[in-house]
Amino acid sequence: MRTLNIGLATALLGASLATTAIAQDKAIELRFSHWVPPSHPMHVSAEKWAESINKASNGTITIKIFPAQQLGKAADHYNMARDGIAQISHVNPGYEPGRFPVIAGMEMPFIVANAVEGSAAIDAWYRKYAAKEMQDVKYCLLFVHDPGTFHSTKKRIVVPEDIRGMRIRPANGTIARYMVLLGGTNVQSSAPEIREVLERGVADAATAPWGSVLLFGIDKVTKHHMDAAIYVTEQVWVLNKAAYDGMSAAQKKVMDDHCNNDWALRIGREWAAMESAGKDKLKAAGHDVYPITKEQLAAWRKSAESLHAEWEAAAKKAGYDPKVVYGDLMTEVNKRNVAY
């Protein structure tokens, strides 16, 4: 009994010391910058994440969120975290073609069927490579949006040949290259700018997930929507290294506990719910939401083979074995039964 009491006393003393250590930590405020509107589910997830961090740190870590490109353009967010303009940034690596050759592997078309398990799979895969490829920052987590597709102003896009001569707003550098290989022309814009480029007639169609079509007002200027899981884009949260290194051991543990695969899955799930619901809303509004046949899908897959070959060459040039990198990715995807 005495031994048990001593053990209990030791455990209580340890817990007390840990609590005291957190309580004595210096209070810090971190700027978290992203580029979607406050109404977006990702922003809501970010608020929950920040609240959880504040609670777990005993109030010593406060995160102030700046949405809607308040601190900088969407494409600048990696550099913003690197340079300390924000201590936490939401980065879409696909907005900087060629800079991140490994992560571009998951931008290949037709990989995952949904964003829930897809987020968990791709985050687990990329953790093996993030420290090297994103060495300017500290990697936190990665999630994906629900699969995106083509949304057109004037005509149905059914087969790869339909892209020839069209002006497309692509989701990222990989999809942009895909459009070029199919004979299209790219019109670059971030997600919040899609409606404008379509409305002005600068682009004929855009790639986007379903819910975002409504969120960003793209439904006001499009009529035709292909019902196929063409691609997903990665969304990465990164930390400024100096900010992280300046934290106490207890604060670092709090951040590490919130930069994990479980949180990637949670955030991906909440975003996916909004995106997947968009398709039925477009149908209810009278939009032309049309399926493609198995033969047509096979033609799309075939048309992406040269794109994949180009990615392999880029990854190899950067010092990676593309067969191993892509094999690791598909292992995670198949483990979670989320392959498209």
First to last CA, the chain: 59
Give the pair of three-digit tokens for residue 301. 């897959």
DSSP for 257-320, please give it. Answer: HHSSHHHHHHHHHHHHHHHHHHHHHHHHTT-EEEE--HHHHHHHHHHTHHHHHHHHHHHHHTT-
Label each residue of 212-259 as H, E or C: HHHHCCHHHCCCEEEECCCECCEEEEEECHHHHHCCCHHHHHHHHHHC
pTM, entire model = 0.89
Q: Could you give phi then psi for residue 321, rounded to 5 degrees? A: -95, 105
Q: Report yes or no: 95 and 79 within 8 Å, Cβ to Cβ.
A: no
- Amino acid at site 292: I
CATH architecture of 26-145+233-274: 3-Layer(aba) Sandwich (3.40)
Task: Tell me how far apart the alpha carbons of residues 243 and 240 are, in angstroms, rounded to a whole number.
Answer: 5
What pLDDT score does 23 carry?
A: 53
One digit per residue, the tens of pLDDT, for the chain of length 340 reads 444 444 444 444 444 444 444 458 999 999 999 999 999 999 999 999 999 999 999 999 999 999 999 999 999 999 999 999 999 999 999 999 999 999 999 999 999 999 999 999 999 999 999 999 999 999 999 999 999 999 999 999 999 999 999 999 999 999 999 999 999 999 999 898 999 999 999 999 999 999 999 999 999 999 999 999 999 999 999 999 999 999 999 999 999 999 999 999 999 999 999 999 999 999 999 999 999 999 999 999 999 999 999 999 999 999 999 999 999 999 999 999 999 9
Judged by phi (left if over 0) then psi (alpha if -120 to 50, else beta), residue 76 lies in alpha
CATH architecture of 148-231+285-335: 3-Layer(aba) Sandwich (3.40)
Task: Tell me how far apart the alpha carbons of residues 86 and 2 are, in angstroms, rounded to a whole number.
Answer: 53
**Identical fold, 26-145+233-274 and 148-231+285-335:** yes
Boundaries of every domain in the chain? 26-145+233-274, 148-231+285-335
Task: Tell me how far apart the alpha carbons of residues 192 and 212 are, in angstroms, rounded to a whole number.
Answer: 9
Judged by phi (left if over 0) then psi (alpha if -120 to 50, else beta), residue 261 lies in alpha
Name the helix (H) or strand (E) containing 29: strand 28-33
* Burial class of 186 by CB neighbour count within 10 A (0 to 12, 13 to 18, 19+): middle
What pLDDT score does 24 carry?
A: 81
Q: Report yes or no: 25 and 54 within 8 Å, Cβ to Cβ.
A: no
